[in-house]
Each structure stands twice: as structure tokens, then as C-alpha cells.
Structure 1
Amino acid sequence: MSLHSHRHSFFTLAAILLLWAPQLSAQTTPLKYVPDPTFSVLSRKGTPKDITYGGGKRSVCLTRANPVRGLTAILPPADFGGLSATANPTFWVYLPYATERPLTGVLSVRLTDSFRSAPFVKVPISLPSQPGLVRLRLPASLVGVTSPFERQPTMLAWTLTVVCDEENLSRNPFVGGLVMVKPNPELLQRIADLAQSERIVELARSGYWYDALDLVASSDGGIGVQRLMESAGWKPSR
């Protein structure tokens, strides 16, 4: 997927989020996502070859409720991921499918850097039957992936696969990105007593995309996600 098509996909997603999300009051605190320079360097060195960033591949066994937007990981534009201060980070994706029953997904995570690559650890998860933003938290069974590196940054590759064909895996749509688990107890302590809007701002300014995204998506839905995307450099389509 080219950078141009990646940008176009997010322009479309931003419009969908504005239509899908409830109309909430405007956020008064300035919000600006600032990528962590360490993550930027390591993500370019250690990018796994089997990750599709941003927009998932087209499925031939699922019907999109919205035909113009596919399965999408909510990621910043430049480095396809960001930091998390927790050992079990939370990921957000846009699920475009409407089905009669809940879907089955597989969340896969592995360590990755420029020197080694381990197999994915996979956990089945249940996905909703209606389109919208979906919150995915790294299961407790996968937290051990990061346990040897609790005191230093750890780069993880994650993938969500939506299972619609168990026999022909190539028909299943998937999407993913990178997350660096980077403990920062000083930051967490400093923002502990702040209002939620201020915690979001401080996390975003410090490069903690996944933590900021989880707070803003949980509180402001699609409107909040669009604001965070725009603060990272995305512009709404005209």
C-alpha cells in the first residue's frame, strides 16, 4: 500500500468517524501528537514484512456495511505505530462488517527488532457483528511476551485477523502495526492527578499513541479519534 493510498484511506475514515460518532462538545485543550524519535528509528529498522499497516486487505468472504472503508488499524501516519507505557497495550481498529452473528478474530503479537524475529503468539477473540470502532486489549496470556523487557523498550508487532474462512486463510482480512512498550513511571505519576483531557494531551506529546488513543476513543468515540489523527498530521478530506 502506497503512502498516497494510505493517506486517502484515512481521509475516508475520518469522514466515517465524524458521521458515526456522537456529537460531543469541542475539546478546549490543545492536542498535538509528537512521535517518539527512538520509536521512529527502530520501527524503520525492524519493520516486519508480514504486517499490513493502516488498511487491511480486501476480504472476499465478508460484506462491508460501508463499501468505501475496509478494516483499519487506527495508527499515526508516519511510523505506523507508537508507544505504550503498559505491558498489555490496547489497540483500536475500525471494523466495517455487518453480520448476523459475532465474528471471530485472532490477535497476534510478537517481539520484533532489527536483530531477531520470533513467531507470533495468537489468541482468538470475539468481535462485534456491527461496524464501528473496536477496542482490543492485549490478553493476559500474551503479557508474558513483554515480561523479560519490563525495564527497557520492547518493540512488538501486532496483527488482527478477522476469520471468515478457516480453510482458505488467504480470504481472511487482516490489519496490524507496531507498538513499543516503553515503561515511563515518571510520566504516569506526573499525570495521575490531571483531568482526563490533560492526560491525553501529555501522553500524546510524549509519543504514547496507544495510551492517548485509548483514553480519547473511550471518552469521545470517533470525534476524539479524528482529533487525535489530525493532531498527528492527517487532514480531513475536502
Structure 2
Amino acid sequence: MKFISSPMKLSLALAVSCTIILLGQTSIVAGPGTSRQLINTKSSNTTITTVNFNVPTPPPEPPPGGRVLGGAKRGTCPLFKPELTALVPFIKKADSTEDVWGLTTAAHPTFWFYLPLPKNWSNQVEFTLQGEGDKQIYQTAIAPPKQPGVIGVSLPKNVAPLELNKQYRWFLSVYCDPEKQSPPIYVEGVIQRVNLNQAIAQKLEKAQPQQQLEIYAQNGIWYETVTILAQLRQKNPNDSKLQAEWQNLITSIGLSNVATQPIVSQ
């Protein structure tokens, strides 16, 4: 399965800074980033500290490409507002194409999306992960939630782990034709697994979830940053400060259109 990305007009609301990936040593070195707040919910007295999220520079060749939004109406698909959205950083290039790109340290990461489907949706939703040469690594049908909202799609433990420093392409596709005769709406991007250097890994071992969130964010590891924050929100659904931190994080990568949407994954 292979799709061709189309240009989209969306400004990037995040200062981009370089995270240097030393592929030979499989380590990450953090650079300066955009300052924002991290919420610490270790006790009932919520405290706030400063965290930097650094967006890593995508590889130049081949560029990741991709599409962060589901785009306009396609085939039999209705026009959703907000539209299907991948919760991942993206870089808008001079030719109006995008690089949709993020790093993980996990062998089996979780991918996050805003799914705009109504509760009576009956057509297929598919998540696909591809390796080199468009080789299919994993594909699964996604059961739509009872309401539009943010979902997490985890790579199962029985699937081969992501290999270090290799790029994998993912898709989330929504089919509006039961027979799949019409093109779906979809989002697409690239993920790469890396190792943090030993000093940072040791800090993570001793850290609480809120501190881990800060460390991952400072080192440009998107998938762990968003997953930890989503889990904190799910454990503390009435914490308004966690909700504000989530909105700030999602808005900072240029996706304010879905920043206030609920997390509906179980």
C-alpha cells in the first residue's frame, strides 16, 4: 500500500532546532528548543516546571514526506471538521510539501491520531506500518471509538520490534466505501527508533513519569513525550493543568485545530 502526499497550507507554530543523531553510536544530543510548561502531578499540590521540546531535523535523503491532515473530501468520504489528523511534528517546506517525522526509543511505540468519525461509523479504518521497500510490517483494523477524539494505536509485542536507526512509514486510512473502491482519507509519516546516550538513559531509569516527559521532550523524542502525557491525562481526567499542558504541546506543533479534542482511547 503506498500513497502520494499532497501539499497542504498549514503554518508550523514551533521553533525548530536541531537534535543531532549520531547514528554510529545510536545516541541523541539535545539542542535548544522552545520553552514551555510541564505539569507535575506527583502530589495534590500541582507544581509547574519548565520543559523544552526540541523537534529533530529530518534526514535530508530521502526526505520523509507525508501528510499530517486527512485533506479535503475524497471519493465518497464526507468532509470532516476537524479533519483526520496525525499528532506528530511536521515541517512545512518551501515547495508546500511536508516532512512528517518523529523519533522514538521504543521497540513497540504508540501512534496518536485525532479520528473524527461519528459513533455509527461502520466502514473500515486501517493502520499500516511499512519498512524498507514498502514492505508491510503490520496492518490492523481500528475499531472507531464511540465519539470523535484522540486515539492511540500501539504496535503489538508479537510484531517484530522496530530496528535502531531504520525508518518506517506509517499510514492511518479511513475508507468511506465498504468495498474500498474509492480512495480513503489518510495521514502518513515516518518514525525512526534511536537510543539515548547512557547518561540520559540513567536519568530516565530514576525519573518519575513527569520527569521522564521532560527528559524525552528536551531530547526531541516525540512518541514518548506525547504518550506519557496522554497516559497522565487518562489517569487524571479532571486535572485542568494537565489538560492545558496537552493543549500547549499539540498547539506548539501547529495542530491547534485538534488541541482541545478529548482522548477517547481506552
The normalised TM-score by structure 2 is: 0.64
Q: How does 1:41-190 map to 2 (within 5 A)?
A: 42=59, 44-47=60-63, 51=66, 53-57=67-71, 58-63=73-78, 67-78=80-91, 79-100=99-120, 104-112=124-132, 117-121=133-137, 122-141=139-158, 143-144=159-160, 146=162, 149=163, 152-184=164-196, 186=198, 187-190=200-203
Partner of 1:229: 250
- Match of 1:45, SS state, is coil
The AA in structure 2 aligned to 1:105 is: V
The AA in structure 2 aligned to 1:7 is: S
Q: How far apart are the structure 2 equivalents of 1:180 and 1:120?
A: 16
| Superposition CA RMSD, Å | 3.2
In structure 2, runs of 5+ residues without a counterpart are 1-5, 15-44, 92-98, 235-242, 258-266
Q: How far apart are the structure 1 equivalents of 2:156 and 2:62?
A: 24
CA contact (8 A) 2:124 2:142 kept: yes
The AA in structure 1 aligned to 2:68 is: G
Q: Answer 1 or 2: which has greater strand percent.
A: 2
CA contact (8 A) 2:90 2:100 kept: yes
Identity of aligned residues (%): 22
CA contact (8 A) 2:64 2:101 kept: no
The higher-RCO structure (CA 8 Å, 6+ apart) is 1
Structure ID, larger Rg: 2
In structure 1, runs of 5+ residues without a counterpart are 11-24
CA drift of 1:171 comes to: 3.6
- Match of 2:50, SS state, is coil
- Match of 1:213, SS state, is helix
- Match of 1:82, SS state, is strand
CA drift of 1:69 comes to: 1.4
1:6 counterpart (5, 10, 13) = 10
Partner of 1:220: 233
The normalised TM-score by structure 1 is: 0.71
Q: 1:166 to 1:185 in 2, by over 3 A?
A: farther
Deviations 1:181-224 (A, max 9, x none): 11337334322332322211110111110110111122237644
CA contact (8 A) 1:6 1:54 kept: no
Q: How far apart are the structure 2 equivalents of 1:170 and 1:216?
A: 36
